[in-house]
């Protein structure tokens, strides 16, 4: 019987926030393809080693992951979904380790940035940056580090057999990351979308971008995000990445038809269903 589990490429290792986001979108019955970098996740999709990519695109504290917008454009794989993941960060250590024994804490730099307030109260703890939250938990287990804690999620504590010493140490409890789901053009199923990610350039003259934004407003299409990125090697030229949402398909269709007159290098990066939190 053929393997029907979706193969999902993530940046990081098992039990990272990327895998947690993949579980939230696909369910837990997936084959996780671990990759060191975001570019490697796209390469895995390109080579047929994965069916999907789950990629972080923005965090409510750290902001947009700008290099990932460039990957979206360069590889041109369609966005077929999104997922928002609440980021809850815990301090974890080997069983039996007491908080007073801890000399070092390690995690991803963005996770560390989200826990600055907590560590201000413990100046003796040395905070060390690493490339992945879950990898820090794994290293503590593999090397049996008795004076070190990792900042990671509950999934990592469970997978690598660590005890949580302090829960929810992030400064902002309303911290979330948005992840995009990408696949190949052949694999993209038909859905009734109500959200799209667009990319385009406008002429360098007064009111050029305003024309596009006015069209969206006139057609009752909501712009939920706009991000500009300089076009490499071209002075005063920018790519605008825009997320739009609508309630009726014809609103979106009309808006796109009109926007095309005022833009160049127009790309629809993906049309998909807006993520709705299941309560």
> In this model, does residue 3 exceed pLDDT 90?
no
Q: Could you give the CA distance from residue 40 to residue 150 in angstroms, rounded to a whole number?
A: 25
Average pLDDT value for residue range 112-137? 95
Most confident of 107-116, 257-266, 269-278: 257-266
Residue 44 buriedness (CB in 10 A; 0-12 / 13-18 / 19+):
buried
State the CATH architecture for 90-166. 3-Layer(aba) Sandwich (3.40)
Confidence band for 279, pLDDT divided at 50, 70 and 90: very low
Average pLDDT value for residue range 20-32? 97
Q: Strand (E) positions, the chain?
A: 7-11, 31-35, 52-59, 63-64, 79-86, 90-93, 104-107, 126-129, 148-152, 163-166, 176-183, 195-201, 222-230, 238-245, 264-272
Q: How many CA atoms, within 13 angstroms, populate the side-chain half-sphere of residue 52?
A: 26
Find the largest Cα–Cα distance for the chain: 66
| Topology of domain 7-86+175-183, CATH | D-Maltodextrin-Binding Protein; domain 2 (3.40.190)
State residue 139's pLDDT score.
Answer: 98
Same fold, 7-86+175-183 and 90-166: yes
Confidence band for 61, pLDDT divided at 50, 70 and 90: confident
State residue 2's pLDDT score.
Answer: 52
State residue 189's pLDDT score.
Answer: 86
Domain 195-272 has CATH 3.30.70.260: yes
Mean pLDDT of the chain: 95
| Tokens linked to 197 | 């990610």
Confidence band for 205, pLDDT divided at 50, 70 and 90: confident
Q: Could you give the CA distance from residue 91 to residue 58 in angstroms, rounded to a whole number?
A: 23
β-pair partners for 33: 9
State residue 278's pLDDT score.
Answer: 59
67-96 pLDDT tens trace: 999 999 999 999 999 999 999 999 999 999
Average pLDDT value for residue range 23-41? 97
State residue 1's pLDDT score.
Answer: 42
Q: What's the predicted TM-score (pTM) here?
A: 0.93
Q: What does the domain layout of the chain look like in residue ranges?
A: 7-86+175-183, 90-166, 195-272
């Amino acid at each position: 019987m053929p393997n029907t589990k979706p193969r999902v490429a993530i940046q990081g290792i098992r039990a990272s926030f990327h895998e947690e986001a993949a579980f939230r979108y696909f369910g837990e019955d997936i084959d996780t393809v671990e990759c060191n970098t975001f570019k490697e996740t796209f390469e895995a999709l390109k080579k047929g080693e994965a069916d999907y990519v789950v990629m972080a695109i923005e965090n409510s504290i750290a902001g947009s992951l700008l290099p990932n917008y460039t990957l979206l454009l360069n590889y041109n794989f369609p966005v077929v979904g999104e997922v928002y993941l609440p980021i809850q960060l815990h301090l974890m250590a080997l069983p039996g380790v007491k908080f007073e024994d801890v000399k070092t804490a390690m995690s991803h730099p963005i996770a560390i940035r989200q826990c600055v307030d907590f560590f201000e109260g413990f100046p003796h703890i040395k905070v060390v940056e690493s490339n992945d939250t879950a990898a820090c938990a794994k290293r503590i287990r593999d090397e049996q580090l008795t004076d070190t804690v990792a900042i990671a999620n509950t999934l990592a504590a469970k997978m690598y057999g660590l005890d949580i010493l302090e829960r929810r140490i992030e400064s902002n409890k309303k911290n979330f990351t948005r992840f995009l789901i990408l696949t190949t053009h052949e694999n993209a199923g038909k859905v009734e979308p109500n959200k799209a990610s667009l990319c385009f350039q406008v002429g360098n003259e007064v009111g050029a971008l305003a024309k596009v934004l006015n069209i969206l407003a006139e057609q009752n299409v909501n712009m939920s995000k706009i991000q500009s990125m300089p076009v490499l090697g071209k002075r005063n030229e920018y790519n605008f990445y825009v997320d739009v949402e609508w309630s009726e398909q014809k609103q979106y269709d009309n808006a796109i038809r009109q926007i095309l007159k005022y833009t160049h290098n127009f790309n629809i990066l993906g049309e998909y269903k807006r993520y709705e939190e299941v309560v």
